[in-house]
Structure formats: structure tokens, C-alpha cells
Homo-oligomer: A and B are copies of this chain.
């Protein structure tokens, strides 16, 4: 069987999160492992109204094959909204609709990565990104992520290698919840501006800010090989798998579109009309305010519970938005080895290992706070605290 499979797939790790999904779905377990938005973020009644409306207005067009780039209405909406918020001077043709942000990572990799090409990742990085890039067998280089952003000296150092692409989540990073400071972003821009590196800024969580202001992108509108990724998964619905790629580099967009066409022809067209209609007819800001108000409370509850129940030797990040926070245990403690013990106490988290390239038994873990109510969060953290007090 090994002979039958591609080198590519044999070097692609299965997702740890998805492999424990069944365990974490046991209703007795309090799970901080997933990355599920709270269902309050799905405007069900409004979406149902929009379904009725688009079928009546557009008829068969919402059920028919469509163009690869995505429907012009939705692409124009995205261009307008990013122009308004970030002054990026985008037009509809700078946008490509994808089957969720995950597909965007696959299509970009397809269009630019040859085997052994250099790719820079944050350390730690999003496990789904490590998985999708691994399919293209690149050479990974990592740069430490700290409280205010990337380690600049390390970044300069890894850029001495032959680098094709850099992947970053500057706002409420997955897994750490950290956000790059304005100064850190400017420093990164200065370093990248004379290179050909394709900078992929993944921004699925930017709108989920409960403290402060969204900061300007590092490269968007400035770097020639800039790509920004966005998604409706965290603010409208993830089940509809609707994300997008923004780039003013026409040659990049053209070749990523060929990859898109070959990969699935086009994104679900019903979902595109649906989300567009919803956005045109509803107050998205008010909807997002409702979500972030909830997430603020849940994050606060988690942090207060950790202050109360965790030993003082355990450290954690304090995010201003997004869905995750990051816990650092005392040196030498393997969170992976704690995992089965946590399950015995009916609480789950994601051990740090899958967020690193080739590291085992790290002393970090990711906790999600968006998908449990405050009471459950406190109870889960209490159970984790008991476990951590025993180490």
C-alpha cells in the first residue's frame, strides 16, 4: 500500500484536533480543544430569510454552475469593505472566493510551492497550515512569536535562506492569541519590502476584537507579493465554507485561480449569494458586537478562573480578541502526556506538539474559550487546575 500512496500524502500529518474530535464530542467532557465559534454567531433567522429572498430573486442562478472567481456581488462587497476599513484600493477582480480559508492555503501552495522551497512560519503556528503546506513538501523555517510579535533578529536570519513564502496570523494568532504590535509589523515590512517573498497574512479573527483597534496589515497594499486571507466562518457561519483571497498581484491571482478551477471549479454559489444577501440587509457591526461581547466575557471568565485555580508556575497569554489562549507549563512538563489524564477528569485541550515542526512533548497547550458558557468554562479550568497542581 505504501507504494500506492504519494510521497506528499505520506509526509502530511493527520490533524490532531480532528482526530480527537470524537472524544471531545463526548457530552460529559468539557472541551477547550476545538476551534468552534459559539452558535450565537450564526444569524439563523436572518439567514433563513435571505435563503428565501435569493431563491425568489435569482432563481436557478443560485443552484447553477458559476464562475471560478466567485460571484461579482460578493467580491465587490469585500473590496468595498476592505477599502473602507484599510484603504486598500481594491476592485472585485483582486478577490478570489475560496471554499473556506483552509482552501486558500492549499491553492496558494499549489500555485507557488515546489518541493524544498523555503516557507517561514511562526513558532508556534496554526496546525491546519502546517498540515496543508506539508502536502507540498517545503522546507520549513520558524521564527519565535513573543508578546509583541515576531522575533526580528530571527526573521532576518531565516531570510538568508531561499524563501518563497511567509505565513503569519498577525491578529489574535492561532494558537497563541497574540497580536503583532504596530511597530513589529512595520519592522517586518521594512525587512520584506526588498524581497520577493510572498507574505500570506491570514486574518480570520481580526473582527473578533474586544479590546483596542484592528491594526494595519503588514504587507497589504504595499508589498508586491502580498496576500491577505479573510473568512466569513467566524462572523456569519463556518458550515458554508466561504473564505477569500485578496491580492493586487494579478499574476498571482491568475495562477491561484487556475489552481481553484482545477481543484473544485468554484465555491458553492448558493452560499455566496446567501452571505452576500445577509451582509447587504443586516447590520454586521451590531451582529459582531454581540459576538465579541460574549467572547470577552468568556475569555475573562477563563482568565479569572486560571488566576484562581492554576498554580503560579503556569503562564498564559491574555488575548484582546479571537478564540484562543496559550498556556505554558513549567519546563519539562509534556502537555501531550497530561492529555489522557485530563480526559480522565473529563476536560480536553490541544497539546502544543502539533503547532510546531518536529517538536515532541512540549510544555504548551491551546485553550479555546468561544464554545462553552461561563459556568462550564470555570468548571473545566478548575478540573485542569487540579491536574496541574499534581505535576
Contacts and interface: CB of A to CB of B under 8 A. Distances in A.
- Name the interface size band of chain A: 35 or more
A4 B268 CA distance: 29
Given A48-B55, A114-B6, A64 B102 contact: no
A12 B39 CA distance: 40
A45 B113 CA distance: 45
Interface in A90-144: 99-100, 102-103, 106, 110-114, 128, 131-132, 134-136
Count of this chain's copies in the oligomeric assembly: 2
A3 interface: yes
Contacts of A62: 239
A67 interface: yes
Interface in A249-286: 251-252, 255, 258-259, 261-271
A58 to B, nearest CB: 10
Contacts of A63: 39, 42, 44, 47, 237-240
B65 A239 contact: yes
A66 B252 CA distance: 31
A252 B106 contact: no
B65 A261 contact: no
A60 B42 contact: yes
A18 interface: yes
A100 B15 CA distance: 23
Interface in A1-53: 1, 3-9, 12, 14-15, 18, 21, 34-37, 39, 42, 44, 47-48, 51-52
A128 B164 contact: no
B39 A111 contact: no
Interface string A59-101: 1101111111000000000000000000000000000000110
A3 B52 CA distance: 48
A176 interface: no
Nearest to A132: B262
Interface string A356-368: 0000000000000
A292 interface: no
Contacts of A298: none
A198 interface: yes
B47 A48 contact: no
Contacts of A102: 262-265
A240 B268 contact: yes
A293 interface: no
Contacts of A187: none
A241 B258 contact: no
B8 A110 contact: yes
Nearest to A136: B6
Given A4-B198, A4-B225, A261-B131, A239 B269 contact: yes
B15 A261 contact: yes
Nearest to A14: B258
A135 B258 CA distance: 10
Given A18-B68, A63-B240, A102-B262, 8 more contacts: A4-B196, A9-B111, A35-B65, A39-B59, A99-B264, A110-B135, A240-B270, A241-B265
10 contacts: A5-B255, A6-B113, A34-B65, A42-B64, A63-B238, A65-B239, A66-B239, A240-B270, A241-B265, A264-B264
Interface of A: 1, 3-9, 12, 14-15, 18, 21, 34-37, 39, 42, 44, 47-48, 51-52, 55, 59-60, 62-68, 99-100, 102-103, 106, 110-114, 128, 131-132, 134-136, 164, 196, 198, 225, 233, 237-241, 251-252, 255, 258-259, 261-271
